[in-house]
Amino acid sequence: MEQYSEERQSVIDSAQWLLSQGYFGPELGTAGNVSVRIGDEKLIAITPSGCPYQNLVPDDICIVDFDQNVVSGTHRPSVETGMHLGVYEAREDVRAIVHTHQPFASILSIINEPIPPLFDDITMALGGGVEVVPYAMSGSVDLVQNVAKVVTNGCNAFIMQNHGALCLGATIEKATKNVAFLEKIAHVYYHALATGKKITQLPKEAVEMLIQLSKDKEGI
């Protein structure tokens, strides 16, 4: 059996579904990346750079160690590999990461607008709110540092200023689902902002209770 075949296929399944939903931009593009942590090893499986996601096969997925050395795979890993590794180092609970350029989260990224907690189910999935990670160039050390600093808030979705979005999860299925949750709340919030009317947020006590319920459900 091919080494790391399960993890590689899970990355492909996530990337291709996200592509089909328009979360990665143009169908022929590669505007985003997906990774999953491999067991207890200091390794991740991550999408390659410059390979159309609809054509991916398991051998295309890069296996990279925490020093960014490619230990398996023939392609160059995503330019955002350092960012993914920075998140894994900062958050032991995170087992999978998805970076997208999804439309409504990207709109909020260019107006530098965080999303407050608005709905029970999405707050349970994403955490107390969606913060904005300050801008830095793609693939830069500054971006790695900016992301690693903000994700310590324990939430599972973030807007990246003038860039896109970042979603995390305890499994790759949850990280992928959190992309959809983020786009739903970003869509609703954008249109709510456009009305110019007051936006009601969940009470602080409710947010704290929902976050604790989520932790209890996950056994954290």
3-class SS of residue 149: helix
157-160 vs 131-133, strand pairing mode: parallel
Say if residue 82 is exposed, middle or buried (CB neighbours under 10 Å; 0-12, 13-18, 19+): buried
CA–CA separation, 62 and 71 (whole Å) = 8
Residue 153: DSSP 8-state: G
Structure tokens at 97: 């990461």
Mark 92-114 as b/e (b = at least 16 C-beta within 10 Å).
eebbbbbbbbbbbbbbbbeeebe
Task: Report the Cα–Cα distance between both ends of the chain, in Å, rounded.
Answer: 34
3-class SS of residue 131: strand
**Residue 65 Cα distances to 5, 74, 83, 160, 220, angstroms:** 16, 15, 13, 25, 26
Catalytic site includes residue 80: yes
Which entry of 6, 80, 183, 205 is annotated as an active-site residue? 80
Catalytic residues: 80
